Each structure stands twice: as C-alpha cells, then as structure tokens.
Structure 1
Amino acid sequence: MTPWRGPVWLRAGFGAGLVLLLAQSVAVVPAARPWSDRNPWFGGLLQDAIYVLAAVLVLVRAIAVRQDRTAWLLMTGGLGAYAAGTLTWVAVLADRNPPPYPSFADVMWLAYYPLAYAAVIQLLRARTARIGPATWLDGLIAAACAAAFASVVFMTDFGGAPGASRWSVGVSVAYPIADIVLAGLLLGAWALSGWRTEPLWVLLLAGMGINTIANGIHMYETTHGTYIPGGWTDALWTIALAVIVTAAWQSRQRPAERRPAAKVVGVALPAVLAFASLLLLLIGGWRSGALPRTSSLLAAAAIGGAIVRMLLTVRAVAALADARRQARTDDLTELPNRRLFLEVLDRELGRPAGSAPLAVAIVDLDHFKEINDSLGHHLGDRLLQMVAARLAEAFGGAGLLARLGGDEFGLLLPHADVTSARTTAINLLAALRRPFDLERVTLHVDASVGVAVFPEHGTDRGTLLRHADSAMRVAKGDHSGVVVTTSGAHDDADRQRLTTLEELRAGLGNGELVLHYQPQMELATGGIPGVEALVRWNHPTRGLVYPDGFLALAEHAGLMGRLTLEVLEMALAQSAAWRAAGLDLTIAVNLSAANLHDVTLPAYVADALTRHGVPPAALHLEITEEVLMRDAARATGVLAELRATGIRLAIDDYGTGYSSLAYLHALPVDDLKLDRAFVTHCDTDTRSAAIVKSTVELAHNLNMRLIAEGAENEAVLDRLRRWDCDLVQGYHVSRPQPPDVLTAWLRERAGLDPRSLTPTLNPA
C-alpha cells in the first residue's frame, strides 16, 4: 500500500504532516520569531502534534501491511514514547521554575532508544540471510567509527552539574551513551546489510541519523547556553520524524530486486571510516587532552577492525585468483580448459582488422571410448594425461593448447597461416603416434585434426570453431589425419549430416526402418536353411536408403544399440510369420558394439524369443572382428551367455579386421563369414583362392561352419563346392528382397504353388 493511493483518511494524515512540517519550517525563520516568542503555546502545540502524528502514521503502517510488522510496531513504540515525553514536557513540566530533572519525560525519551535499536535489528535480520566474517568486520569498523565521532560530540566537556544527584548524573550520561550506541548501530547495520541502497533502508537510517545529529547539536547548545526552543534544532527533529515515517511506508523490495551498493563503495567505505578514525586519534594526540578516552578506544577498535579486514581481503583476493585459475584449468590434465580457450580466442579475434592470421585446430583422439571402456576409466584418465603432456611438449608453447572436454583438445596458433598450421598439426600427430606405455599395457593412439584459419575461413568464433570441427570429422571419416576446412563445402556437409541425423531419430520412432532378407544357400544340398536380415530406411522423401547412407551416422550418434534392437524385433516377428506359414528358416541379425557392451542383452534376447514364439536355434547373431577388438573381455562374456541359450553366433566380414587366431580360439562362435573381398574373385585370383580355401579348412578344423559372402557367378560356386564350403550368399543366389517377394521366391524354389501363399507379416 502506498499513502498517495491509499484511503482518504491516510492521504489526509500525510497532508496534515506536510502542513505541520511547513509550519515548523516557517516558525524558525527569523522574521517569524517575534510572533513565536509572544505565542509560546503555538510552538508547544506544533511540536506535540508532529510527534503524535508521526507515531500514529507508523502505527497505521504496521497494522495495514504485514511485511516487517514487528519492526514497525517496535518503531511505533519508540516514537510513541518520545511523543509521550514531549507531551508531558510541554503540558506539565516546561512551565515549572525550575523544571524538574530528571523527570517522567526523560524516562519516555530514553525509552525511545531500546525500541529503536530493536526495530533496526529486526529490519536487518529480515534482509540478511547470512553474514560473513568480512561483513561483520565492516559492521564493527562502521559502528566503532560512528560511535567514536558521536562520543566526541556527546562526551567532550561533559562532567555534570556541580552538586547534581546520582539520578541526574545517570540520566545525563544515559543520553550521550544512547546516542553513541545508536550512531554505531545505524552505520554498523548499514555495513552488515552489505551497504544496501534499498529506499526503505536508506531513509530509515537517514531519519534516525538526523535525529541523533539533532540530539548532539541540542546537547552542545545546552552545554554552552545557546539553545533556543522552537529553533533550527527542533526543525531537525521534525525533519527526522518525517524521513522515518516516509521510510515506514516504502514498499519492501523482493530479494532479487535488492541490490547492494557498488563494489567500490563496499571496499572504499570501510577504508574511509578507518582513515577517519586514525585522523581522529591523530588530532586527539596533537591536542593533548582534547579527546575523551572512550572516543580513543572506539577509534582504535575501528582501526584494528580495518587491519583484520585488510588481511581478510588479501586472503580473499588470493582465493579468488586461485578460483579463477581453477575455473580456467582442466582438473585432469592441468591444461587450460574450454572457458579459457574461448576467452583467448575472443580476445585474439578482437584485434584490429587486417592483423596477422590466426589458426584454430581441434584434435580428437580416435577410438578413445573403446580404450576407456576396455581398460577402465583409471587408465583412460592416465592416457589423457600422457596425451596432454606429449601434445604440450610437441606444441612448444607457440600459442595455446587446451583440453576442450573428453578426448578433444584445441589449439590456437597466432600468426599461423594454412601451411604452418597444417605442419604443426602433422607434427603433433607424429608425436601422438609414438606408443604410450601404461600399466603393463602399450597403446598406439591416433587422432584426427581439423584446422580453420582466420580470416580465410571465418572472422568470428562460432564460424571458425564450426569449420574446424567439420574438418576434424572429415579427417576422422576418411582417416586422413589432418584436414584443413574448405568452409562452405564442410558447412553443407554438416547441415546435411545434422538434418539426416534428426530425420533418423524421428524415423526410429515412426517405424520407418524395413528389413530385406538375403538367402543363404547350403552348397551340399542346394537348400535354403536361412536368411540374413539387412536393414533399410524407408525415408519419407528420399525413398529407400541403404545402410551405408545412415549406419555410420547412427553409430556416431549413439543410436546403434536402439537401431539393432528394433531390427531384432522385426526379424523375430518375420521369423514367427514364416514359421506359421510353414517356412522353417533361420534369421541372421548383426549386433553392434553398443549391444555387446550391454550386459542385459542376453536377457532381452531371451525375452524377445519367448514373446515372438521363435526357438533360439532359429536366431543367428553376427558380430564383426572390429567389435570384438574394442572390448574382447566384455564381448566374450555377453556372447557366452547368448550361446548358452542355443543361439548360433558368427564372426562377420572375417579377414578384413585383425583376424587373430587367439580370438578364434577363445570366442564362443559357431560360424565364420568370409568377406566378399576374397570370395568374389576366388575363381580368377590365385591369392584370393588360397585365402578362401585355407579359411574353409581353418573353420572346419575349429568345428565351425564357413559362410562365403559375395558369390556372384556359377564359377565361384563351383570353387566353393570343391573346397567344401558350407553356406554361400550373394547375388548369384538372390539379391536381398522384401519379405513378401522373398516368400514367393522361396515357395517357387521349393516347387510350391505361389498362389497358395499364406499372408506374411511385414512389421515395417
């Protein structure tokens, strides 16, 4: 509630206050003094009305507004006590000769102080959740300094009247002490609030401060016999009351809106106060005996607090510098982190136009995730530390090397053009390719580097980093090591890649994947015991997309695990449909690396077989050698569980990976699928023929079947029969076909009437 928008009676109250304040101001003008002296009742009545109205307006605020109600009720009590003392003095005591001292009016006036203290403390508590040591010291400095100066005003030349009673002396001492404490409390509370500039807080402190100053002036004038009732000192008291009432009716700001003073104020004010206290001590020492002992002690307390505050500030600055360094340093490698990298890049790009070039390079380790998963995070972290140290050594400090996150590092090369940046990147790769000796393990690490140069490839941070990242991905894709961006071409490729990825994510949820099936023929009998499920993406606008158009993207985006499980579900549903139609076929499905790292896969596959009513022997799962090499131990455990359920396992694309005999000996697999690169030309190329023949013999000696991919003509089939190959698949047998087309082909091959086909299920 605001007074100028409140009820009529509230606006009338504030209007009356303005009138009284104006009358008080006029009454102290020298031209009006003769009339005031002839009518002393007017000054007394005016003073009484002002004090009573001030107490009433603050009480109304406490009742009408819930916020800070306790504080303003306390302030109402203090102002009410002050008003009661003034009424008693004007109505009863002022006309006595001599006026009694001390009197009931003094009791009421002194009662103002503890209630005012409590109100200030209550407001401070409501606005300060937690006060730190530095803020407490600011409060001590401010309170001690204010009290020191107030004590000079209130206690200098104070000795009490000769022959005064103990009560008179006590009351005479109580007034200056109360004002000294109030002065210290006001400035100390402001410091404890963080030097807030909230209007309510500033006005309250100003009003109570003016009241304390008026008290000091009154004491000085009374001591020296210059006090004039109804003069400027009385006007100051009236102004103080007006400011306090205005403060009471200020709307309390929300915590988010309250702002401390500027940082320079928070730092400078304690220093200024300490300097003022020191100056006070110097003046007191220069003028011997001019400074009360209490003032000296308070000034010394302010200076002592300032010294401790300075020590805390130095410590805080050191901690802030350390925190700033840590915030810009990578914890693991102790290299600069991404934040500092971007800050330096922005600073370098802010140089005047036409300055020297600047190269940005992004280095990304190849297959680090597989290393981390296989060897554990401890050795993965150790490898990153060794990589960082080797990069720093090879880099030589001619710029900035930072760890951007994960296994990605960034380089800034001032004054480097395309040629020198490429040379630096090649040197870094050469250093990385030297073996790393970890705990009983020797690792060979490779990386991909993308380079962009200012201003050739961009003039702002976002463009340069995007081009460097695009070039790095190109380098990773074609295994070229270092690629310098070609700007627009890479931008187009990135946009196409992101678009395709988002469409693929949506396609997985919309059932856009379909399966085609390629038969596997048994050479000994010519029968078709099974098929391999091959995934296609039925894109809404691009039509049928083959695996090489999206599988690599899915793997890079971490979608292969989800995609493979979707393929598995569709393949099992088709298997159940074929079995219901009288076609007893096995179905081979490829597993990804993500599947083999998932220890819950065997349980999921077993549940899927049960749901679709397909026996385990009807499912063949294929894995590549590269997948095995990424984490052989975990893969072996998962494969053993799968094989224990009765599922057959095969190594796909055999001969294109590591082809380690140790893996063949240890892995629980049933079949080898020889890659088409060897099979397709085995009828014309003697080397290919030797590899195929020896691989057939190897598989049989290990009690495995050999499945040859890429049988494209009858001559190849003849060779494979002669070498006792078990199964073949290729275009000479059949291309991959949709399930309905393949069903008709199978029935026709089996000599059945295609018109008797049972409808087949195509989950896509």
Structure 2
Amino acid sequence: MVPARGRWWIRAAFVVGVLLLIAQFAGAVPTVRAWADGHSWARDALQDAVYLLAAALVLARAVMVRQDRGAWLLMAAGLAFYAAGTVWWIAVVVKQDPIPYPSVSDLMWLAYYPFAYAAVVRLLRARRSRISLSSWLDGLIAAACAAAFASVVFLNGVTGDSIGSGMTMLVSAAYPVADIVLAGVLLGSWALSNWRLDRVWTLLLTGMGINTVANGIRMLETTSGVYIPGGWTDVLWSVALALIVAAAWQSPRPSPERRPARALVGMVLPAVMAYASMLLLLSESWRQHGLPLASSVLAATAITGAIIRMLVTVRVVENLADARRQARTDDLTGLPNRRRFLELLDRALPEHGAPVPTAVAIIDLDRFKDINDSFGHHLGDRLLQMVAARLAEAVGTDGILARLGGDEFGVIMHDADSARGQKIALGLLAALRRPFELDQIALHVDASIGVAVHPDHGTNHYVLLRQADSAMYLAKNDHRGVAVATGDAADVAGRQRLTTLEELRTGLDRRELTLHYQPQMHLGTGVVTGVEALVRWDHPRRGLIFPDVFLPLAEHAGLMGRLTLQVLDMALEQCRDWRADGLELVVAVNLSASNLQDATMPGHVADALARYDVPPAALHLEITEEILMRDAARATVVLAELRAMGVRLAVDDYGTGYSSLAYLHALPVDDLKLDRAFVTHCDTDPRSAAIVKSTVELAHNLGMRMIAEGVESEAALSRLREWDCDLVQGYHLSRPQPADRLATWLRERQPGPRDPRRTGDEVTVL
C-alpha cells in the first residue's frame, strides 16, 4: 500500500510529517537553536507534534489495513505511550521545581519497550512460520552480541551511587536494561528472519535501531553534562520515528529477494559477531575498570552460540553430502539413478574423440506392467530388485549398471565397440531369461536391449541415448532381443516416435483429443440407435491424427488408461447433450487393457455416468479378445462389476484373436462385434459369408446380439439382414463424423410429422 493512494487526510498527514521533520533538522542548526531557546514553546510544540503524529499514522495503518494488523497495533500503542510521556514531560514535569525523578513520563516511556518487543516478534512470526535450528542460533549470536555491546554503553557509569535507591534505582536500571534487550531483539529478529532485506523489515529495524542508539547517546551526553535540548540527539529520535512510520505504510507485497546477497550476509554476519564478541571479552584485560558482568556473560553467550552453529553447519554439510548421494541413487535397487548415470556417461566420454570406444545399452523389460498389474506392485518391486541383482552380476567389471526409471536400466561399457557391446548385451539378455522364483511362482522375464557406441553413433550422451533408445524399440518391434544402433532412418523414426509421445502427453494435458462418431443401425427397424466413439488427435501443427499412429505409443508408455478415461468423459458429455436435444442415442466406447486391470475402473464409470446424468443403458463398452487373454480372471471381475451397473459389454474385433468359446461362455458380455475383415466381402466371398452367418447364429444361441462393422455395400447389408444380424455400422451407412455434423445427418433422416415411421429401407433415428 502507498500512502498517496489512501484517503486525503493520510496524504496530508504525511506532508505535515515531512515538514515537521525538516523543521526538526533546522532546529538543530546553532543559529536557529539560539532563537528556539528564547521561544521554548515552539520547540516543545514541534517535539510533541512529531511524536503524536507518528503514533497516529501507525495506528491509522493498523486500522485501515488487515495484514499484520496485530503487530502494528502493538507498535502504535508503544508509540502512543512514548508520545504521551513526552507531552506530559513538556506540559507538566519540567515546570515543577525540583523536577521529580522518576515521574509519570518515565513510566510511560518505559511502557514503549514491551509493546515494541511484542510488535517485532509478531511481525517475525508472520514471516517465518518455521524457524530452523541454524536460524535460532544465528538469532542467539546476533542478540547476545548486540546486547553485549549495548550493555557496555548503557551500563557504563551506572553504579549504586548514581542510581540512588528504591524506585529511583529501579527506573534508572530499567532504561539501560530495556535498551539492551531491544538491541538484542532487533538484531536477533533480523537473524531469525533469515537475514531478510525486504523494505518493511529493513525500515522497521533501522528505525528502532536508531532510536536505541539515540538513547545511548543521550545517556552518555547526560552523564558527561553536554546534552543540549533540541540538538542532534532529538533529531535522531525524530528520524527513527519517521522510519518506523515509513515501514508501517510499505506495501505488504514483498520486494524481490536477492538470494545470493542474503546468503552471503547469513554466512558472514554470525562469524563477524562472534569475532566481535571475542574482542570485547579480550578488551577486559586492558580496560581500566573491566567489563560489566552482564557484558561479559552476553559476549560469552554469543561465542558459545557461534561454536554450536559451527558444529551444526558441519552436520548440515554432511547431510547435504548424504542427500547428494541419495539424489543420485535409486531407492529400490541401490543402483545409480538416471542423474548419476548421465554424470558417469559424460565422464566416460572423452571431449575430443575416443581412441577407445565406449558402448551404451538401454534395457527395457517386456510386459513388466502386466506382471505388476497381475501380481501387485509389491511383487513387482521385488522382481525389479532381483533383476537389478542379476544384471549387476552379469555386467561384472565390464561396465556400470544403473536404473533409469520404471523397468528401464542402462549400462555403460568401457572399451566396447559394436561387436563387444552386442556380445555383452546378449549375455545380459540370457541372464534375464532364466526364471525368477518369487513366492513359489516362477516368473519368466524377457527384455529388449538397444546398443549405441561412441563415437560411431554419437559424440555426446544425448545422441548416444537417443540412438540406444531407438535401437531398443527396434529390437522390441522385431522381437530380436538385442539391436545395435544404425544411425540411419531408424534413428529418424525413433526420434519421431519420441517426439510424438511427448506431444501426446502435452495433448492429453491440453485436452486436444476429439471424438468422431460412427452410427450403428438396427437392421430390424432401420433405426440408428447408437454410435461408436472413435478418438482422433487434433494436433496443433499436424492436424487430425488417426488412432493407429498414437494409440500404440500410448499403450507402451502407460497412457492408455488416462486416454480412455478422457474419451469416456467426452463421449458421455456428448451423449447427455444429444439426449437433451431429443436424440436418444447409445454411445459405445472402447476399453484398453489398462482399464481392465484397474479395479477402480467401475467406480470411474459410475462417477462419469452420475456426473453427466446418463443412464447406464445408454453406454456400451467394447473390449478386444487380446485384452481378455492377458488376464482373463481380473478382467472378468471388472467386467462383472460394469455389467451389474447396467452397462452393456461387447467383444470387439471378434474373429481376429483367439476366438475361444470358453471365454465367450465364461465372460459377462452382451454383444459380439464381428471384425470388418469378414463382413466387407460377405456378399462375394463364400468363406466370409459362412463365417458371418455361423457367427450370427453363435451369438444368438449364446443370448448375445451381433454387431457387424465394415458394411460398405447395399449387397452386404442385404445379406446381413437376411441372416438376422442385429446391428450394423460401416461406410455404406456413414463415415465417422464430428458430433455436430452427425446430429445434422441424423435429423435429415428423421421422418416428417405425417410420414410413416419407416418406408422401405429408409433409415430413421429414435
């Protein structure tokens, strides 16, 4: 907050304050002070106005601004007591003869200190909710050092003879003690604030510090008999008040932190204060009267705090070293992690060519996710530990093994060309293919390994790892186990694949997927009763990308679960909009293998149906036979829960997988969806016709509906109607279309108000 943006009277008060401060400076000039000595009322009025205005401005800030209100209310109360004491002194005390000591003004001046302490502590707590041990020690060192030096000033000359007895002794001792404590609180709070240098803290601590210094100067001047009313000491008090007011009215938004400077201050200042305290103690040996006992104790406290701080710093450095090691070590296997692997690889690669080649291998376990999903993450973690141990034994002294993340490992092989790198990789693969015994289960693990060699395939770790990664995917796709990088078009394809994968991750975050819908017609009535949701990727640069490009990447990268849930969400939202618009359509969505291994999938579906207020019967979920073969037992549990909700289930692409009748008998599915490879030529190819006709009969005998996809001609449609197929979809009916175009297409085929519901082969919609 800026005063100029406040109310007009706030701005006017600041202008008056500046004028009063200027007048205070002018009053300290000897010629002006001579005039003021003859007009003491003007000097007294000026002093009263400065103190009262400062208290009023801080109080106004506390009332008008909520942030840090408690702290500034405390500060306003302290300044109000200080101002009241000054006014009472000028108006009453100095006119008495003799001047009483202590007086009511002394009590009000002393009341300033506890409020000031509380205000500083309140601001500190607002800025630092948690304070580390190092910061506490810095605060102790700073507070003890400041109090030690302050005590030398304030306790100098304070003896039993000078302070009298009774109340006089108590008040006389209270002043130096209060200022000593305030000095310690100020410097200690700065240390506890992590040596923060924002404007509020800097102005406040500077103002209160100047006030404490002015008190010390006043005590020395009074002791020496050279104090002059209205002199420069009084100006220092006014400057201190101005800085406190300026701190109160600073914007609550913190200034940009200069971290390097603050870190330097945090390292240097505690050491400087400890040395200063040591010098203060050493000075006792050559001081004529010695140090006050309090000064010696405080200096010793600062030095003790510095010693403990040094020990803590040593411990912190050790912890940082441990943290650095841990940050470069994989927690599960104890192997170097990706960060450490890259550091070691950079160290292994010479800067200017390599007379001795260095090979890099990327190892990716095949179908590890299926093992994880089927047997649980606990067993999966144990398997990774056993894999790491076996790989480490197989690598031996030939290289350095690291876990790069998930089920991916990396190996650096010294003095290894392509042939030697491939030989070592084949040995690693042979070691992995021996069964692993876990909980009386023999698990067989396979892997794909890609090898790249420096400098043949790259001169830095970025290129080498990309080449090894491309070779690994080549080995995985060709089922060859081990592949060596070639640096040719395969690398270009690998880079394109990785780029597409990263763009797909971003596309999912930005919801770049879109759905096209292909109608499904009921053959018995000619009515379009539903649609299949087909996902497309609306790439910002490459345009519309079809699923065969990105779905395999998503499946391998573990993104299919997330992608399917996003598609389900969009399809149900569109279904709700259609139903609100009078189009009672059923929407079909394909499930992935990840969804059928996820026990929480039925809950996601139920939440989505409730969120969009779509009845379960309006959702059909399609699965492929290949998905069922991976883990039929777990898939059956998930499918049973979905079916119990009222969602219809269909086996998609039937006839292209294993087509086991045992699975059809056991699985809770409602529909068979025959693959287009049989449907498209059922009107011309006798074999296709026999398969389609027998599959329709099989579905009906099992109590299922038959859906034929890939209908591309009227002849094929007629044959399917002749065989009593239930539902059809294909280009002959309609290509997949965006939701808005499909709605238009459907309405154009709706019968008019006076037309019969169906005429001939006319297609209508419900």
The two structures have a TM-score, normalised by structure 2, of 0.68
Deviation at 1:58, TM superposition (A): 1.8
Q: 1: distance between equivalents of 2:477 and 2:267?
A: 56
Q: 2: distance between equivalents of 1:493 and 1:513?
A: 36
C-alpha change, 1:256 and 1:129, in structure 2 (3 Å) is: farther
Q: What's the CA shift string for 1:103-158, capped at 9, x where partnerless?
A: 12212211211221222222222222223333333322222222122111111221
Match of 1:762 among 721, 725, 728: 728
For 1:82, give the aligned amino acid. Answer: Y
Q: 2: distance between equivalents of 1:458 and 1:201?
A: 55
Q: 1: distance between equivalents of 2:549 and 2:39?
A: 104
Q: Report what 2:583 is aligned to.
A: none
Match of 2:640 among 599, 603, 623: 603
Q: 1: distance between equivalents of 2:161 and 2:430?
A: 96
Q: 1: distance between equivalents of 2:491 and 2:326?
A: 35
Q: Report what 1:113 is aligned to.
A: 113
CA contact (8 A) 1:198 1:259 kept: no
User: Is 2:476 aligned against 1:476?
Assistant: yes
Deviation at 1:472, TM superposition (A): 0.3
Deviation at 1:374, TM superposition (A): 5.9
Q: 2: distance between equivalents of 1:228 and 1:89?
A: 16
Q: 2: distance between equivalents of 1:373 and 1:29?
A: 87
The within-5 A match list for 1:129-148 is 129-148=129-148
Q: 2: distance between equivalents of 1:337 and 1:293?
A: 58
For 2:728, give the aligned amino acid. Answer: N
CA contact (8 A) 2:365 2:447 kept: yes
Q: Report what 1:123 is aligned to.
A: 123
For 2:362, give the aligned amino acid. Answer: I
User: Is 2:345 aligned against 1:308?
Assistant: no
Q: What's the CA shift string for 1:475-534, capped at 9, x where partnerless?
A: 11223232222345124434369869979x9999546799xxxxxxxxxxxxxxxxxxxx
C-alpha change, 1:745 and 1:13, in structure 2 (3 Å) is: closer
Structure 1 window deviating more from structure 2 (201-210 vs 417-426): it is 417-426
CA contact (8 A) 1:196 1:261 kept: no
The within-5 A match list for 1:142-157 is 142-157=142-157
Structure 1 window deviating more from structure 2 (206-215 vs 88-97): it is 88-97
Q: 2: distance between equivalents of 1:200 and 1:486?
A: 63
CA contact (8 A) 1:284 1:290 kept: yes
Q: 1: distance between equivalents of 2:236 and 2:411?
A: 68
For 1:266, give the aligned amino acid. Answer: G
Q: Report what 1:429 is aligned to.
A: 429
Structure 1 window deviating more from structure 2 (96-105 vs 551-560): it is 551-560
Q: Report what 2:335 is aligned to.
A: 335
For 2:401, give the aligned amino acid. Answer: L
For 2:156, give the aligned amino acid. Answer: T
Q: Secondary structure at the match of 1:599?
A: helix
Q: Report what 1:282 is aligned to.
A: 282
Deviation at 1:745, TM superposition (A): 11
Deviation at 1:334, TM superposition (A): 0.4
CA contact (8 A) 1:138 1:191 kept: yes
Deviation at 1:319, TM superposition (A): 2.9
The within-5 A match list for 1:293-692 is 293-342=293-342, 344=344, 352=351, 359-372=359-372, 377-396=377-396, 400-413=400-413, 418-433=418-433, 436=436, 440=440, 445-453=445-453, 457-458=457-458, 463-494=463-494, 495=496, 510=516, 556=556, 590-592=625-627, 593-594=629-630, 596=632, 597-600=634-637, 603=640, 641-642=666-667
Q: Which runs of 5+ in 2 are unaligned?
A: 521-533, 538-546, 568-587, 593-622, 673-685, 688-707, 731-766
Q: What's the CA shift string for 1:638-661, capped at 9, x where partnerless?
A: 788449x9999xxxxxxxxxxxxx
C-alpha change, 1:56 and 1:372, in structure 2 (3 Å) is: closer
For 1:763, give the aligned amino acid. Answer: Q
Q: 1: distance between equivalents of 2:297 and 2:341?
A: 53
For 1:118, give the aligned amino acid. Answer: A
For 1:486, give the aligned amino acid. Answer: T
Q: Secondary structure at the match of 1:262?
A: helix
Deviation at 1:197, TM superposition (A): 1.5
User: Is 2:290 aligned against 1:253?
Assistant: no
Q: Secondary structure at the match of 1:291?
A: coil
For 2:390, give the aligned amino acid. Answer: R
CA contact (8 A) 2:338 2:405 kept: yes
Q: Secondary structure at the match of 1:452?
A: strand
Q: 2: distance between equivalents of 1:193 and 1:366?
A: 53
For 1:386, give the aligned amino acid. Answer: M
Q: 2: distance between equivalents of 1:311 and 1:280?
A: 23
CA contact (8 A) 1:200 1:247 kept: yes
Q: 2: distance between equivalents of 1:242 and 1:180?
A: 22
Q: 2: distance between equivalents of 1:42 and 1:548?
A: 92
Q: Report what 1:181 is aligned to.
A: 181
C-alpha change, 1:163 and 1:374, in structure 2 (3 Å) is: closer
The within-5 A match list for 1:690-709 is none
CA contact (8 A) 1:512 1:538 kept: no
C-alpha change, 1:5 and 1:375, in structure 2 (3 Å) is: closer
Structure 1 window deviating more from structure 2 (360-369 vs 165-174): it is 360-369
Q: What's the CA shift string for 1:175-232, capped at 9, x where partnerless?
A: 0111111111112222222222121111101100110011111111211222222222
C-alpha change, 1:355 and 1:168, in structure 2 (3 Å) is: farther
Q: Secondary structure at the match of 2:331?
A: coil
CA contact (8 A) 1:400 1:413 kept: yes
Work out the percentage of aligned pairs sharing the same amino acid. Answer: 55
C-alpha change, 1:73 and 1:337, in structure 2 (3 Å) is: same
Q: What's the CA shift string for 1:50-105, capped at 9, x where partnerless?
A: 22222222222223322222322222222222122222223333355542211122
C-alpha change, 1:747 and 1:432, in structure 2 (3 Å) is: closer
Q: Secondary structure at the match of 1:486?
A: coil
Q: Report what 2:601 is aligned to.
A: none
CA contact (8 A) 1:221 1:227 kept: yes
Q: 2: distance between equivalents of 1:551 and 1:72?
A: 61
User: Is 2:16 aligned against 1:9?
Assistant: no
For 1:307, give the aligned amino acid. Answer: I
For 2:410, give the aligned amino acid. Answer: G
The two structures have a TM-score, normalised by structure 1, of 0.68
Deviation at 1:340, TM superposition (A): 3.0
Q: 2: distance between equivalents of 1:449 and 1:399?
A: 15
C-alpha change, 1:435 and 1:45, in structure 2 (3 Å) is: same
For 1:49, give the aligned amino acid. Answer: A
C-alpha change, 1:292 and 1:45, in structure 2 (3 Å) is: same
Deviation at 1:171, TM superposition (A): 1.0
Q: What's the CA shift string for 1:571-615, capped at 9, x where partnerless?
A: xxxxxxxxxxxxxxxxx9844334624132663798899969x9x
Q: Report what 2:67 is aligned to.
A: 67
C-alpha change, 1:437 and 1:186, in structure 2 (3 Å) is: same
Q: 2: distance between equivalents of 1:513 and 1:328?
A: 54
Q: 2: distance between equivalents of 1:354 and 1:296?
A: 66
C-alpha change, 1:548 and 1:283, in structure 2 (3 Å) is: closer
